[in-house]
Amino acid sequence: MSKSKQRMKLGVSIAGAGYIPGAWNFSNSIAKERLTSNYFKKIAQEAERAKFDFILIDELHGLTTYEDESLKVSPQYRLDSISVTSSLLTYTEHIGLVATIPITTSQPYHVARKLASLDHLSKGRAAWNVVINDQERTYRHYDVALVPDPSEWKQQAEEFLNITSSLWDSWEDDAIIGDKETGIYADPSKHHHLNFKGKYYSVAGSLNVIRPPQGYPVRIQQADSVLGLELVAKHADILLVGVKTTAEAIHKYEEIRLQLKQQFLIQQPQLLLNVLPIIGDNEAETDKLLEAYEQQQSEVVSEAGFGVRNWITLTGTKTQIADALQNLYTNVGYDGFNLIPAVLPESLQQLTEQLIPELQERGLVQTQYDDVTLREGLGIARPNNKFREAVRQ
């Protein structure tokens, strides 16, 4: 499909008070407020008004330090992303809800069931930001038996991801009949047991939630994941690309697309570039903001979570930043962007009130939602049921 028939895809990541180190110092929100459903409600509804495709709830799956000096200046708390996305069901209608869930400290049946439930309750708006807890400092919070040696992460992840997709396929789409006249509720021939036994996991049964509306929730992964591009591309609908400069963004896009072509995938994942915009009315204003942020960065560690760690920082007026995004979309080839607010909720408001309207006026992004699932809205094909395909073959 040509670019003229597509549109720029937009996501926004949410982490604490924002993504710059010491963001809480610049935010008008207070610490305890960021632990309330009302805080996330306001942010999600703000993003939905601007017609973002999805909101990604970033995660910290445990304290990364016990050092007093770090704890004193950098927030280490973060609410569970499944709980947050679930709470947003009643406050939103269209925007995709992305939960960040790690492989290394989770169980595939548990994850598959929670995400299938979220997809049903949201009518097809669920997505999974697949991450690896690759910081050894977080392992202390979990049973070490659940965390294999890093050299085995790829094998473990392959098992985990194959199991979750198989569980979502364990009921075919038309397995539930519910015929009161015949008394037949389900067609047993369209129900499939896994009986999986691997090196890391043993999962006997099918899921006790029928196939999600999207087939699978949209799966998002980091292009630079420690799992390697070859593996993540097989199990991703979207790859988030993290670089530091525009030159790196161009090079990385070409590099990834070349590698993906060599994999002969049925459908290549979309590439969304992580971008942190710093918007000002003029150069002097943006320079002042950038200086303040950089000074803070030298004093505290980053508040970013495990889901999004690398991004390109774009500074300027809304017009200048829109020009840069349009170039990366139209001329370089990125499918869209995952926007990273420097400070929450202030930076998100700048995005929704200044940058997004500018992109909408240029006809680059959507101005309204269609009554479709997240997967359909993003233009990502619904996966076939692997068990049904096997029967046909």
pLDDT per position as a tens digit, 221-230: 999 888 889 9
Given its phi and psi angles, is residue 184 left (phi above 0), alpha (psi -120 to 50 degrees) or beta? beta
- pTM score: 0.92
Residue 24: pLDDT band with limits 50, 70, 90: confident
Looking at residue 1, its pLDDT comes to: 32
Looking at residue 4, its pLDDT comes to: 37
Side-chain half-sphere CA neighbours of 167 within 13 A: 26
Looking at residue 290, its pLDDT comes to: 80
Q: Is residue 208 part of a domain?
A: no
Specify the range with the lowest mean pLDDT, choosing from 44-53, 127-136, 296-305.
296-305
Residue 134: pLDDT band with limits 50, 70, 90: low
Q: Is residue 23 part of a domain?
A: no
CA torsion sign for 235, 236, 240, 246 is: positive
For residue 351, the enclosing domain spans: 8-16+44-137+214-293+311-392
What is the tally of structural domains in the chain?
1
Q: Is residue 300 part of a domain?
A: no
Looking at residue 310, its pLDDT comes to: 86
Give per-residue pLDDT as tens, 313-324. Answer: 999 999 999 999
- Contact in structure between 74 and 121 (CB atoms under 8 Å): no
Confidence check: pLDDT of 307 > 60: no
Looking at residue 5, its pLDDT comes to: 46
Q: Which residue has the tokens 């009643």?
A: 90
Taking all residues of the chain, what is their mean pLDDT, rounded to a whole number? Answer: 88
Q: Which of 7-21, 68-82, 126-140, 205-219 has the highest mean pLDDT?
A: 205-219
Token pair in block for residue 137: 């400092």
Q: Is residue 37 part of a domain?
A: no
DSSP designation for 13:
E
Q: Is residue 75 part of a domain?
A: yes
- Contact in structure between 303 and 21 (CB atoms under 8 Å): yes
Dump the DSSP string for 137-149.
GGGGGS-GGGS--
For Cα atoms 76, 275, 318, give the angle at the middle one, nearest 5 degrees: 120
Average pLDDT over residues 261-278: 92
The CATH number of whichever domain residue 349 belongs to comes to 3.20.20.30
